[in-house]
Amino acid sequence: MGYSRREFLRKTAEGIGASLFTLGALQGNQSSKQNQPNILWITSEDNTASYLGCYGNEIANTPNLDQFAEESIVYENAHANAPVCAPARFTIITGMYPTKFGTHNMRSNNKIPEKFKFFPEYLREQGYYCTNNYKEDYNTPKPRKIWHESSHSAHYKNRDKDQPFFAIFSTSLSHEHKIHFHELMEENDHDPGDLELAPYHPDLPEMRKCKANYYDYISKMDKKVGEILDELEARGLAEDTIVFYYSDHGGVMPRSKRFLYDNGTHVPMMVRFPDKYQHLAPKSMGTREKRLVSFVDLAPTVLSLTGVDIPDNMQGTAFLGKQKNEEPEYIHFMRDRMDERYDMMRAVCNKRYRYIRNYMPHRKYGQHLWYLWRSPSTRAWEEAYKNGQCNDIQSRFWGLKVEEELYDVQKDPHNIHNLADKDDYKNILQKMRAELKNWIRQNNDAGFLPEGMMVERAGDSTIYKMTHSRNISINKIIETSEMATRRDSKYLTKLKNRLTAEEPGVRYWAATGCAILEKEAVQAVSKLKLLLEDSSPDVRIAAAEALVRIGKYKQAALKILVSEMENEEKKWTQLHAVNILESLEEEAKPVLKQIMSWVKWEHGDVSDYFGRAHTNLVKELKPGWSDYVVY
């Protein structure tokens, strides 16, 4: 006769008397006298929902999570609002969107106003013992001490007797680095030949090896989750604790993590309620829930479960507890700078469709990113593309973006059939486009300022205060960006006029629009040349790129780009400049000598974002410069 995990552990404890299981209770770990529920979060890293057996994967070996799913509510439409850890974790800890605060770029660490609290602060005020084991990575400095403990040894066992707890345990066993060169195992439990590859991945040995390796680590992650659940039961706390399991975003094979496709944002999420707190659950355990849920909803949901009033500033919607609200119609997403690579996408989805707006259509999807290229799968895919071994779907990743993407996620879970230009989907496209525009403006989206300009204009204050003041024309900036990134010459006259706007953010996007149009923007050359002396370095960089792409005043433009690349006092505009130089490819070769003068050692410097981007720039412009791969 089969038992659930909880039944098995209970019977084991009864059978062996004063064992580890009973000792936990004897040592005062039970909290049956408390009225408030304990909340336990178990978080894995970088795994899309489709890697688990309980989400329909027949190859996955995830018995602990599959059993946990039978004891929980399984959310089928749960998503990270950003497809990478730090911005996603900001959303989780605040219940607000990073784009509203300037915390949207990866590892930006920009501060937010002190009036905005991290949600564990509210729990502490209610008497909760709050622990985090161990990853934070909130993309912003902690405003105050928010955890009783936050370390590798943080644990709810250290609380006072009968004190309710909120505890997070994170595991990195499924993190992206498990498909890097140094983590690949000689033999895998999962046979690489048995795996199904995504249609956008070419069938390569390296692709299969990395995916098999990742499946093996998913199994190790599953075992770790089981150990955390076992300990909770052993300490006699399962009947007093609501348990969440989720992944911090999707991943991890190339074109998932960091990208706004379903594989980058769709996460597993399950919530188990003990009998004591079933009245807070919307359904019975062992059922599936199709409600749209995203990370911005987690903070208000925990407050709702613990009886704390949800503050008005939280942008998410509670999906559990007494303050549960109506299901949202849409989920919103953002992608910006990923480590050393500048990019910008915004997206929205409902249960059927996903709409993506690309604000840098003149950049490739697959921009070289040092960390992503540590996987043999990414390198092999790139090599196969260069050798002409990829079909149209597989080649798309290495080409320039389109301005808009629309996918039917039910019929097309891999998001490979773009419907944005199909007449039958025109109404859906317009509706989702309008929804995204409205959301962007509601947030005064700070991502519409280049990072260097954004940080410099905020000064000693916060980006939030700067973008919500009367001193910035944020709506005009957003409007200009929408014209600039359409790749349509009908907007050229307006863009040309805005090259002399008082607002530097408008000038930046007007110049960027000319860069996107390339030679079609030739009538704007005289104004672009004047912008090489603009007061804003980001405007100077955008104007320089435009002039090189148009083919006018190239020497002066390249000189500006090198000058900004050398300006170490402005690290984000320095990074911006080196990104532009690499995007120009052969056009940047006339300044190779100046670029090479910044090489810090024979094969480059990958110790920081600028060093990584600069090293790859030199590799691209000087083939054979590095005879081995820098790990």
- Confidence (pLDDT) at 627: 54
Q: What is the mean predicted confidence (pLDDT) over 526-552?
A: 98
- Confidence (pLDDT) at 7: 54
**In the 8-state DSSP scheme, what is residue 37?**
P
Catalytic residue, chosen from 85, 130, 210, 514, is: 85
- Confidence (pLDDT) at 33: 57
Measured distance CA(152)–CA(155) in Å, rounded: 9
Look up the domain containing 511 and give its range.
470-621
Residue 336 binned pLDDT confidence (cut-offs 50, 70, 90):
very high
Task: Answer yes or no: is pLDDT of 294 > 50.
Answer: yes
Measured distance CA(316)–CA(326) in Å, rounded: 11
Task: Answer yes or no: is pLDDT of 16 > 60.
Answer: no
- The tokens describing 321, both together, are 């507890």
Confirm whether 132 is domain-assigned.
yes
Confirm whether 202 is domain-assigned.
no
Least reliable range by pLDDT among 10-14, 129-133, 334-338, 455-459: 10-14
The proportion of the chain whose per-residue pLDDT surpasses 70, expressed as a percent, equals: 94
Confirm whether 440 is domain-assigned.
no
Confirm whether 338 is domain-assigned.
no
β 241-247/38-44 pair status: parallel
Q: pTM of the entire structure?
A: 0.95
Q: What is the mean predicted confidence (pLDDT) over 42-52?
A: 98
287 with 88: CB under 8 angstroms? Answer: no
572 with 339: CB under 8 angstroms? Answer: no
Task: Answer yes or no: is pLDDT of 341 > 60.
Answer: yes
568 with 574: CB under 8 angstroms? Answer: yes
**Better pLDDT: 29 or 350:** 350
Confirm whether 445 is domain-assigned.
no
Over residues 382-404, the pLDDT tens digits come to 999 999 999 999 999 999 999 99
Q: CA of 58: how far to CAs of 63, 81, 174, 290, 608, in Å? A: 12, 27, 18, 21, 40
Confirm whether 296 is domain-assigned.
yes
Q: What is the mean predicted confidence (pLDDT) over 289-318?
A: 98
Domain limit, last residue, from 280, 308, 328:
328
Confirm whether 353 is domain-assigned.
no
Q: What is the mean pLDDT of the chain?
A: 94
| Number of separate domains in the chain | 2
| Phi, psi dihedral angles at 622 (to 5 degrees) | -130, 75
Task: Answer yes or no: is pLDDT of 34 > 90.
Answer: no
- Confidence (pLDDT) at 24: 40
The enclosing domain of 499 has a CATH number of 1.25.10.10
What distance separates the 2 farthest-apart alpha carbons in the chain? Answer: 86
Over residues 247-275, the pLDDT tens digits come to 999 999 999 999 999 999 999 999 999 99
Task: Answer yes or no: is pLDDT of 539 > 80.
Answer: yes
Q: What is the mean predicted confidence (pLDDT) over 221-236?
A: 98
Q: CA of 142: how far to CAs of 117, 147, 518, 522, 546, in Å? A: 9, 10, 43, 48, 40
Q: Is 85 a catalytic residue?
A: yes
β 129-133/353-358 pair status: unpaired
| Phi, psi dihedral angles at 175 (to 5 degrees) | -70, 160
429 with 406: CB under 8 angstroms? Answer: yes
Task: Answer yes or no: is pLDDT of 479 > 80.
Answer: yes
| 3-class DSSP assignment, residue 287 | strand
- The dihedral built from the CA positions of residue 391, 397, 398 and 402, taken in this order, carries a sign that is positive
Domain limit, last residue, from 303, 328, 353:
328
* Distance, CA of 629 to chain centre: 27
Task: Determine which helix (DSSP H) or strand (DSSP E) holds 356, and give its type and residue range.
Answer: strand 353-358
Task: Answer yes or no: is pLDDT of 31 > 70.
Answer: no
The proportion of the chain whose per-residue pLDDT surpasses 90, expressed as a percent, equals: 91
Task: Answer yes or no: is pLDDT of 204 > 60.
Answer: yes
279 with 264: CB under 8 angstroms? Answer: no
- Confidence (pLDDT) at 4: 54
The enclosing domain of 79 has a CATH number of 3.40.720.10
- Confidence (pLDDT) at 105: 98
Confirm whether 364 is domain-assigned.
no
349 with 403: CB under 8 angstroms? Answer: no
Domain limit, last residue, from 305, 328, 351:
328
Q: Which has the closest alpha carbon to 411: 357, 352, 326? A: 352
- Confidence (pLDDT) at 604: 87
- Confidence (pLDDT) at 518: 98
Beta bridge partners of 247: 44
